[in-house]
Amino acid sequence: MANSSVSKNTTTLLFDHDGTLINSEHVHFTLWQEIVASYGAELTDEFYCKVMAGIPVKQNAKDVVKHFSLDAVPEQLAKKKHDKIEEYLLQQAFPLMPYAAETIKACAEAGYTLGIVTGGSTLSVEKTLTSYGLAQYISCVVAVEDVTHSKPAPDCYQLAMKKLGVSPGECIAIEDTYTGMQSALSAELACVVVPTTQSAIHDFTKATSRYESLQLWVEQEITGR
């Protein structure tokens, strides 16, 4: 699936963060494993990929409590997860996905306005932008704290468009999960998907285009135009 998503009307590229720009899913999985293990249960890679990858923490916590019948309220688990991530980010930024920095720079140099729209935290995005010197390229950040309903609801993309003063026809979302794609499509955006190992099993048939790497997308749709 390599239909072109970028058109002559495209002015704005809105990037997801976790799994798209940063290689964070394995860290998230490990931290959730530790939390679930503390209740005497075992979180498998299969369950994480199928149910949890790309989903905001609040919903992850509900799904984990229900699936494992844990003697805990979801808010407790969500707080533990947020605390663990904060602890992690105090030590280091998440590693970038392959070609992520080059993608941001190439898109900015090609004249597009760039934003980051994430179901993750503002702290995580700020850490990425400062640690890798990318802040100058990003005009807008919408994170989980900025909306009442995070992905798969369209609210985060709608807020980003409002902040930037653009319409859906001018924007493209770049995502790596079904949940993220749903959010973008619900906001009436074209959506490029670049699946990760964790999200490769997701149903991306409704995506505007699909690439196996950011580099291939950039070469075909940004610098190769």
Tens digit of pLDDT for each residue in 104-159?
999 999 999 999 999 988 999 999 999 999 999 999 999 999 999 999 999 999 99
Which pLDDT value is given to residue 50? 87
Integer CA distances (angstroms), 188 to 30, 166, 173, 181, in order: 34, 12, 10, 11
Q: Are 143 and 131 in contact (CB under 8 A)?
A: no
Q: pLDDT tier at 54 (50, 70, 90 boundaries)?
A: confident
Cβ-proximal residues to 222 (8 Å cutoff; 6+ apart), any chain: 6, 106, 107, 110, 112
Structure confidence at residue 179 (pLDDT): 93
Cα 114 from Cα 96, distance rounded (Å):
17
User: What class is the 12-24+95-222 domain?
Assistant: alpha beta
Chain CA centroid to CA 110, Å: 23
Closest C-alpha to 27, from 90, 99, 85: 85
Instruction: Say what the pLDDT of residue 3 is.
Output: 66
pLDDT, position 201:
87
- Residue 137's Cβ-side half-sphere holds a number of Cα atoms within 13 Å equal to 25
Q: How many residues does the chain have?
A: 225
**Residues near 181 by Cβ (< 8 Å), separated by ≥ 6?**
173, 175, 191, 193, 202, 204, 206, 207
Architecture of the domain defined by 25-91: Orthogonal Bundle (1.10)
Lookup: tokens for 113 = 């306005």
Angle at 82 between CA 96 and CA 38, to 5 degrees: 110
Q: Is residue 190's pLDDT more than 70?
A: yes
**The predicted structure's pLDDT at residue 224:** 73
User: Which pLDDT band holds residue 2 (cuts at 50, 70, 90)?
Assistant: low
Q: Is the pLDDT of residue 100 over 60?
A: yes
CA angle 46, 47, 52 (to 5 degrees): 120
- The domain limits of the chain are 12-24+95-222, 25-91
Tokens found for residue 53: 């990858």
